[in-house]
């Protein structure tokens, strides 16, 4: 597979919004999507404005990652007056004791840091409203002299803040409450007290300085119930409290480690890139040097020798893990290490897989152990968003290299080398969840990996340094199967003097043996050794660990920025209809939540088939039991096809014959492309086609031919072919690739005949690409992920997503001749839950012509000028419909496939290219040369 890595939008959840309690670690793909959304917008701007910068590699956004949605809410200001004489003491004595311990204890573990001043965005500086206190208003306390105000005296709060809810700096202090308040503490005259007595009055009061801390711990201890967890929270809280008391630095304030990556330039500001550098240049990093330019041994010469080890993380449904192993197994060439979540409810899964591993390893004919379990005592209790995900992966790598044996036998030599007698032998390590499943055949998986150097590492990293706002980068501790937010954590960034940057990446990867060993057994004083202490306190640590390690070390030179894994996401957890999974809403702002991948359903098969990826997730055998069966059928066919092609190529080489061209599908139109013509305009003076203008990405209804051509067309011309030189502008399209379930063929009338498949009622789904011009190769797109009618048609870099895949009507789902995109089932279910009208199938058409009430999806045009089709006294077709010529030059958009008149039906006319034999070409060239010579003499 020779292709550049797609930008994934983050680039896969079924209509069931609520994650069940047993859905633990693997509901984790949530997060780099805040970063992904910014990336997607930058890429879209680049695609719109700088066409010539488009690379041959596909843009796709499955873009997995950093998925915290953030919605600021406004606050109001209230006054809280507290009289110390009557204030109630907390009933939680354990909490109070922990509070006192934090205040009394001097931190011994505070990490020192002298961070450089944060580099502010000058543009944002210019637009921010000046302010002083509003971002810290909740922390305000004022002391009232009790001698001057006897008894209970209410003092009006000052309105010292403006509404800044729209400002990112103030939004971080919103904790779900709608109230800002100032605490007034009534105490004796402090001037009459000794210093220690005055301090005691301030600190011992239940409403004094410790009161906020007391409240925080009380809230946190509702989730943390064990002594160990409560003590851990208190100890880490003390690092910050005592950092203030001792006037020292907070944890990781002066983290520094030098970046040893010299192979990848650092571009932090993607909106102001140097001339000649595009986002595509940065993000589409390919590591596949020509074999003739690299030393011998860089590539594996014989793909049959490739050894793979699959590391699988699971927590339930052991039969799904077993099926995954058996689908990937190539006897003698694949090995497996399985980590089962350490929680008690996963014990039956662990026991079943231990039994399976023993059975398979002892099977007659098995020469060596090929399935290993991470030992029971080393199983990690994995939690959504926690560092435990990283820990579980590292523990599995530990098992891959046989280090469990050396833990039990510390006196035995060999632990320090990767090829010790107890280590698995392998070239590539594939890290996956048990909810993953292969899309490609084993032959294709192996061929793809072997087509890159042995030291290649396949990760998906957003290669822009992460620079989060301080409000959303917090210090967490993990215990009692939950994450507990302590305070802010300095975000590592080279511009702040940390030496290294944090990069968002997927935690699922395919890596070399050398990199796997570096992670499993980090050298002393290595970046991993230092960074592990930091990443332990980062939320969704798995998506900030592996890519960051690779990007900041010498291993960056081996990055191929694609992990060959397809993912699809839908709604954020704060957008859930009904109860939401609070594990994914752990930030101070309650609507700042993560999300998880969508569970693949059968209707998603075309997207999976055409994604070009080797693997996909997530799959759930209970939610959708059939989809894996259909994937297996396709993999078997693909395996057989590859074997036949390989045999045919070998035979041709043995005979010294030219490798034959593979036959074209009917919808490929002899490889010259197709003109897509509005059926109703066939008899018009100028037929109208789907095409592009001279610039821009908009897909228009525009003239098919040059002005002098239509008069030369014969009756029934749509049943034949057209000469490519006669078209006007960019009206040439290529259909395909198409999914395999069902059939497509052009009939004698010029229509595409669609025959439904076994599971796809809508038949094959196809990409439709621009066939010529500066946007050649871009894909028809229904305004990326617009799920209601009214989405505008554009051409954007191909992504193999639902909004770039189209099916062809046969009178059932869509009118005969219609083109439509289909909303994935999980998105349709989400809309149903929100009581919205659902149009699952969206056809290509125009606005203002159909029978449907379009006001639900078309914004009112406040302009006083009418569009040509808004007048009644206009030309009409015999069927009474207004002529489509009124929409000439208008951008096409989606409309419900039931909207009769609004849906355009199409003919598909193949192109022919006129060619001349050599003798005729020579004669024409000679004649032209003679004419030019005569003209020159006359001049």
Structure tokens at 18: 């609520």
The pLDDT value given to residue 125: 42
What does DSSP say about strands 807-808 and 819-822: parallel, antiparallel, or unpaired? antiparallel
Residue in this structure with the two tokens 């944002």, named with its chain if needed:
124
Of 88-97, 398-407, 514-523, 613-622, the least confident: 88-97
CA 361 to chain centre: 37
Q: How far apart are CA 427 and CA 447, in angstroms?
A: 13
Backbone φ and ψ of 34, nearest 5°: -60, -45
Residue in this structure with the two tokens 């699971």, named with its chain if needed:
314
What does DSSP say about strands 474-479 and 565-566: parallel, antiparallel, or unpaired? unpaired
Whether the per-residue pLDDT at 370 is higher than 90: the answer is yes
The pLDDT value given to residue 856: 76
Q: Where along the chain do its domains lie? A: 74-120+138-150+166-281+303-548, 666-859+866-912
- DSSP assignments along 862-901, one per residue: --SSPPGGG-SSS-B-TTSPBPGGGGTTPBPEEEETT-TT
Of 429-438, 706-715, 794-803, 857-866, the least confident: 857-866
Whether the per-residue pLDDT at 95 is higher than 60: the answer is no
The pLDDT value given to residue 459: 97
What's the pLDDT band for 862 if we cut at 50, 70, 90? low
Q: How far apart are CA 835 and CA 829, in angstroms?
A: 10
Model confidence pLDDT, tens digit, residues 777-800: 999 999 877 788 888 999 999 988
Q: Quick check: bond before 737 cis, omega within 30? A: yes
Class of domain 666-859+866-912: mainly beta
pTM for this model (two decimals)? 0.80
Burial status of residue 721 (CB atoms within 10 A of its CB: 0-12, 13-18, 19 or more): middle
Who has greater pLDDT, 163 or 370?
370
Backbone φ and ψ of 204, nearest 5°: -85, -15
- Judge contact between 547 and 393, C-beta under 8 A: no
The pLDDT value given to residue 198: 86
Roughly how many angstroms between the first and final C-alpha of the chain, as a whole number?
A: 58
Helix or strand run (H / E) with residue 606: helix 605-610
Share of the chain above pLDDT 90, in %: 52
Helices (H), 764-873: 825-833
- Judge contact between 471 and 643, C-beta under 8 A: no
Model confidence pLDDT, tens digit, residues 440-494: 999 999 999 999 999 999 999 999 999 888 888 999 999 999 999 999 999 999 9
Helix or strand run (H / E) with residue 182: strand 179-187
Model confidence pLDDT, tens digit, residues 542-559: 999 999 999 999 999 999
CA 194 to chain centre: 60
Q: How far apart are CA 415 and CA 513, in angstroms?
A: 16
Model confidence pLDDT, tens digit, residues 572-606: 666 665 676 767 777 777 777 777 788 899 999 99
The pLDDT value given to residue 659: 57
User: CA Rg, the chain, in Å?
Assistant: 32
Helix or strand run (H / E) with residue 347: helix 347-361
Structure tokens at 804: 């770039």
What's the pLDDT band for 868 if we cut at 50, 70, 90? confident
Exposure b/e, 26-39, CB count within 10 A at least 16 = b: bbbbbbbbbbbbeb
Whether the per-residue pLDDT at 118 is higher than 50: the answer is no
């Amino acid at each position: 597979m020779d292709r550049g890595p797609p930008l994934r939008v983050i680039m896969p959840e079924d209509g069931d919004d609520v994650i069940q309690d047993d859905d633990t670690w693997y509901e984790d793909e949530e997060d780099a999507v805040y970063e992904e959304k910014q990336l997607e917008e930058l890429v879209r701007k680049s695609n719109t404005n700088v066409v010539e910068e488009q690379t041959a590699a596909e843009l796709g956004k499955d873009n997995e990652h950093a998925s915290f949605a953030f919605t600021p809410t406004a606050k109001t200001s209230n006054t809280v007056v507290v009289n110390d004489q009557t204030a109630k003491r907390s009933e939680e004595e354990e909490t109070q004791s922990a509070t006192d311990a934090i205040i009394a204890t001097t931190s011994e573990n505070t990490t020192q840091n002298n961070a450089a001043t944060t580099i502010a965005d000058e543009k944002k500086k210019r637009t921010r409203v000046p302010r002083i206190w509003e971002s810290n208003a909740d922390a305000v306390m004022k002391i009232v002299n009790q001698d001057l105000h006897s008894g209970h005296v209410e003092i009006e709060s000052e309105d010292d803040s403006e509404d800044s809810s729209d400002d990112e700096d103030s939004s971080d202090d919103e904790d779900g409450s709608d109230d800002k308040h100032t605490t007034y503490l009534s105490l004796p005259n402090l001037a009459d007290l000794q210093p220690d007595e005055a301090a005691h009055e301030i600190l011992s009061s239940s409403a004094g300085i410790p009161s906020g801390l007391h409240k925080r711990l009380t809230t946190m201890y509702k989730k943390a119930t064990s002594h160990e967890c409560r003590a851990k929270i208190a100890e880490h809280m003390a690092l910050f409290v005592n950092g203030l008391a001792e006037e020292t630095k907070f944890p990781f304030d002066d983290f520094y480690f030098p970046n040893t990556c010299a192979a990848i330039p650092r571009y932090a500001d993607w909106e102001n890139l140097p001339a000649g550098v595009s986002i595509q240049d940065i993000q589409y990093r390919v590591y596949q040097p020509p074999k003739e330019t690299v030393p011998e041994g860089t590539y594996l010469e014989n793909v049959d020798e490739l050894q793979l080890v699959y590391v699988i993380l699971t927590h339930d449904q052991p039969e799904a893990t077993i099926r995954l192993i058996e689908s990937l197994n190539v006897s003698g060439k694949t090995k497996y290490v399985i980590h089962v979540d350490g929680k008690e409810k996963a014990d039956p899964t662990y026991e079943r897989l231990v039994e399976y591993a023993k059975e398979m390893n002892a099977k007659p004919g098995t020469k060596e152990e090929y399935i290993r379990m991470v030992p029971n005592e080393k199983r990690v209790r994995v939690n959504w968003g926690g560092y435990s995900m990283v820990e579980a992966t590292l523990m599995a790598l530990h098992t891959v290299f046989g280090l469990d044996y050396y833990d039990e036998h510390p006196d035995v030599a060999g632990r320090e080398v990767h090829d010790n007698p107890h280590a698995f032998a392998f070239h590539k390590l594939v890290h996956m969840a048990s909810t993953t499943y292969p899309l490609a055949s084993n032959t294709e998986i192996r061929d793809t990996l072997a087509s890159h150097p042995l030291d290649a590492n396949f990760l998906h990293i957003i290669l822009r340094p992460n620079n989060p706002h301080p409000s959303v980068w917090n210090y967490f501790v993990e215990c009692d199967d939950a994450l507990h937010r302590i305070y802010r954590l300095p975000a590592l960034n080279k511009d702040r003097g940390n030496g290294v940057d944090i990069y968002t990446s997927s935690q699922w990867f395919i890596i070399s043996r050398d990199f796997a060993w570096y992670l499993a057994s980090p050298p002393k004083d290595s970046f991993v050794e230092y960074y592990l202490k930091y990443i332990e306190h980062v939320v969704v640590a798995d998506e900030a660990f592996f890519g960051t390690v690779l990007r900041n070390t010498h291993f960056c030179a081996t990055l191929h920025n694609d992990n060959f894994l397809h993912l699809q996401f839908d709604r954020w957890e704060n957008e859930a209809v009904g109860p939401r999974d609070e594990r994914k809403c752990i930030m101070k702002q309650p609507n700042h939540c993560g999300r998880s991948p969508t569970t693949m359903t059968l209707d998603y098969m075309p997207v999976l088939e055409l994604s070009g990826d080797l693997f996909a997730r997530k799959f759930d055998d209970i939610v959708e039991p059939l989809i894996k069966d259909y994937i297996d059928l396709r993999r078997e066919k693909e395996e057989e096809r590859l074997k036949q092609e390989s045999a045919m190529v070998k035979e041709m080489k043995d005979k010294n014959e030219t490798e034959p061209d593979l036959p074209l599908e009917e919808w490929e139109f002899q490889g010259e492309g197709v003109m897509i013509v509005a059926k109703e305009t066939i008899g018009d003076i100028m037929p109208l086609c789907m095409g592009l203008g001279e610039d821009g990405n908009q897909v228009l209804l525009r003239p098919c031919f040059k002005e002098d051509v239509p008069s030369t067309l014969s009756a029934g011309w749509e049943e034949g072919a057209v000469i490519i030189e006669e078209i006007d502008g960019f009206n040439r399209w290529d259909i395909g690739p198409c999914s395999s379930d069902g059939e497509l063929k052009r009939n004698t009338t010029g229509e595409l005949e669609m025959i439904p498949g076994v599971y796809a009622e809508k038949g094959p789904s196809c990409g439709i690409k621009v066939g010529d011009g500066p946007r050649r190769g871009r894909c028809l797109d229904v305004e990326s992920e617009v799920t209601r009618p009214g989405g505008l048609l554009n051409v954007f870099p191909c992504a193999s997503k639902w909004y770039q895949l189209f099916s062809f009507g046969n009178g059932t789902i869509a009118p005969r001749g219609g083109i439509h995109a289909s909303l994935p089932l999980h998105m349709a279910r989400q809309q149903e839950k929100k009581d919205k009208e659902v149009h699952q199938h969206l056809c290509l058409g125009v606005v203002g012509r159909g029978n449907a009430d379009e006001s639900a999806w078309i914004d009112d045009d406040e302009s006083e000028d009418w569009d040509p089709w808004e007048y009644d006294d206009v030309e009409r077709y015999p069927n009474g419909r207004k002529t489509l010529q009124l929409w000439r030059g208008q951008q096409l958009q989606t409309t419900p496939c039931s909207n009769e008149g609004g849906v355009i039906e199409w003919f598909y006319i193949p192109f022919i290219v006129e060619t001349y034999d050599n003798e005729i070409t020579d004669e024409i060239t000679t004649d032209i040369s003679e004419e030019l010579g005569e003209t020159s003499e006359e001049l």
